[in-house]
Amino acid sequence: MDDNRGLRPQVMTALALAAGPVVALGFTRFAYALLLPPMHTQLHWSYAQAGAMNTANAVGYIIGAATAAYWSRRLGGSTAFTGSLAVSALALLATAATAHLAGLLALRFVGGFATAVTFVVGSTLAARIAVGVHQRRSALLVGVYMAGVGIGVVLSGLIVPVALAAGGWRLGWLLLGVLSVLAVLPARWGSRSVAEPRGAHTALLSPVQIRRLGPTFAWYLLFGAGYVSYMTFVVALLRGQGLGTWLTAVFFVVLGAVSALTTLTLWGRVIGRLPGGRAPALVAALVLLGVLPVLLIEAGPFAALLSAVVFGASFMAGPTAATLMARRMLPAEGWAAGIALLTVAFSAGQAIGPVLSGLLSDGPGGVARGLWLSVALLGIAALVALWQREHPAVPQTAGDSARRDEPGTAEPTPVGHLRAVPAPVSTRSE
């Protein structure tokens, strides 16, 4: 049984860190789906141009994810986390100031870069809140952190329709930017509450470690392409099917609320118990099922809400599963690099998916045809994930060894001269 001593301050720290994904994904990435229809109409975009906005964001995300471990090492985890979050907030504010496609693409790129650093470093901080405890405790804390995405989606669903009614898409970006500035405060407190580990805590991965995670990398790339195509264009599909602004807002709120609830209460425990690639495969299969209602059931509120519940209950389990796979299969000093590399695969998929889906949506069949791409990609992702086998953390130096990290057992500590020495969690601001 888990030792519950210190759980409450650890959960509070994870909640404070969750301000990062509120902004990084809830606002910067997913709120775009609500703002896309009026921007698409008023700025006279094609669906390919609309998809290019998310692709620019995803390209920045790739670069940010690839360099996140460097920024964490160079600046320290707390500074890298809160500094990149502040840049994201400024990019959101600036998006309200221009209608030029080139300027908006540049801002989406900057926002993608900054939010990737925020998300990767924040994921590493969340994984480090409680080092050396049972996997179920770690899974719970990572789940609390990931729930920030659902909270951000709910807030977007509440704020953006009001902004559109009162002043248009510019006001929507402005209000999201202001909330993002406020989010820096709890994020700073939470990040300073996680002590920086001593030793080589941002070591590069060995070829053996990368190869053993290969199926998870492939799954995450396909998953990213599949789920983000849905998130980019589903509101446009629903609007085209006759749902008004407020019904699509309800769809978005339900999706975000279910995501936050299941991430907090369900997925950490489920993923912590499933070995190998079973958890990623399950997540991809459930997200696929969440896409189908808006494509197969007669258009209307029932299909939209069913899709919101099923998709919302599962889509943020993807990043949760990826973070816990890195924590389970890598030594502590490799967590930052492992999460960063997985996020690069994820963001590469997010760069490819919206453009392909947008091109399909511009042809016969419209947006629905583009969303069938999500179904195909998620189905392949589920199959690929099943190839992932459970491996113990592979030490960085010859002669080192580590026990297999079985679900429900204590976190193994690599031995040898690169051993990660867990520092106690501080609950005070320095």
Report if residue 300 sits inside a domain: yes
Q: What is the DSSP string of 102-117?
A: HHHHHHHHHHHHHHHH
Kind and range of the H or E run holding 159: helix 135-166
How does pLDDT run across 314-363, given as a tens digit for each residue? 988 888 888 888 878 787 777 778 888 888 888 888 778 888 888 888 87
333, 202 Cβ separation under 8 angstroms: yes
pLDDT at 247: 86
Q: How many domains are there within the chain?
A: 1
**Residues whose CB falls within 8 Å of the CB of residue 64, separated by 6 or more in sequence, listed in order:** 84, 112, 113, 114, 115, 116, 117, 120, 347
Average pLDDT over residues 290-298: 90
Which residue from 266, 318, 319 is spatially nearest to 126, judged by alpha carbons? 319
How does pLDDT run across 7-23, given as a tens digit for each residue? 788 889 999 999 999 99
How does pLDDT run across 128-142, given as a tens digit for each residue? 887 655 566 777 788
Pair of tokens at residue 85: 């979050």
Q: For tokens 């995670």, name the residue.
A: 213
**Residues whose CB falls within 8 Å of the CB of residue 70, separated by 6 or more in sequence, listed in order:** none
- How much is the pTM? 0.73
Report if residue 404 sits inside a domain: no
Output the CA angle 387-393-395, nearest 5 degrees: 130
**Considering the chain, what is the average pLDDT of its residues?**
82
| 40 phi, psi to nearest 5 deg | -60, -40
User: Residue 408's pLDDT band (boundaries 50, 70, 90)?
Assistant: very low
- Average the pLDDT over each of 15-29, 90-104, 231-245 and give the range with the smallest value: 231-245
Instruction: Report the distance separating Cα 286 and Cα 308, nearest Å.
Output: 12
- CATH number, position 175: 1.20.1250.20
pLDDT at 427: 37
**Residues whose CB falls within 8 Å of the CB of residue 353, separated by 6 or more in sequence, listed in order:** 224, 225, 226, 228, 229, 232, 373, 374, 377
Report if residue 232 sits inside a domain: yes
Report if residue 296 sits inside a domain: yes
Report if residue 84 sits inside a domain: yes
H-only helix segments in 213-316: 214-240, 245-262, 268-273, 278-291, 293-296, 301-314
Residue numbers of the domain that contains 354: 8-194+206-385
Name which residue leads in pLDDT, 283 or 344: 283
Q: Provide the total of helices (H) and of strands (E) in the chain, helices listed first.
A: 18, 0
Q: At what angle do helices 214-240 and 245-262 cross, to 10 degrees?
A: 150
Q: Left if phi > 0, otherwise alpha if psi is -120 to 50, otherwise beta: which for 133? A: beta
Which residue from 123, 125, 100, 96 is spatially nearest to 111, judged by alpha carbons? 96
User: Residue 197's pLDDT band (boundaries 50, 70, 90)?
Assistant: low
User: Residue 107's pLDDT band (boundaries 50, 70, 90)?
Assistant: very high
Report if residue 1 sits inside a domain: no
- Give me the count of residues in the chain: 430
Q: At what angle do helices 214-240 and 366-385 cross, to 10 degrees?
A: 160
How does pLDDT run across 132-176, given as a tens digit for each residue? 555 667 777 888 898 898 899 899 989 998 999 998 999 999 999
Q: Is the pLDDT of residue 114 over 60?
A: yes
User: Residue 393's pLDDT band (boundaries 50, 70, 90)?
Assistant: low
Which residue from 121, 175, 165, 166 is spatially nearest to 145, judged by alpha carbons? 121
Q: Is the pLDDT of residue 400 over 70?
A: no
Q: What is the dihedral of CA 293, 297, 299, 301, to 10 degrees?
A: -60
Output the CA angle 254-48-108, nearest 5 degrees: 65
pLDDT at 183: 96
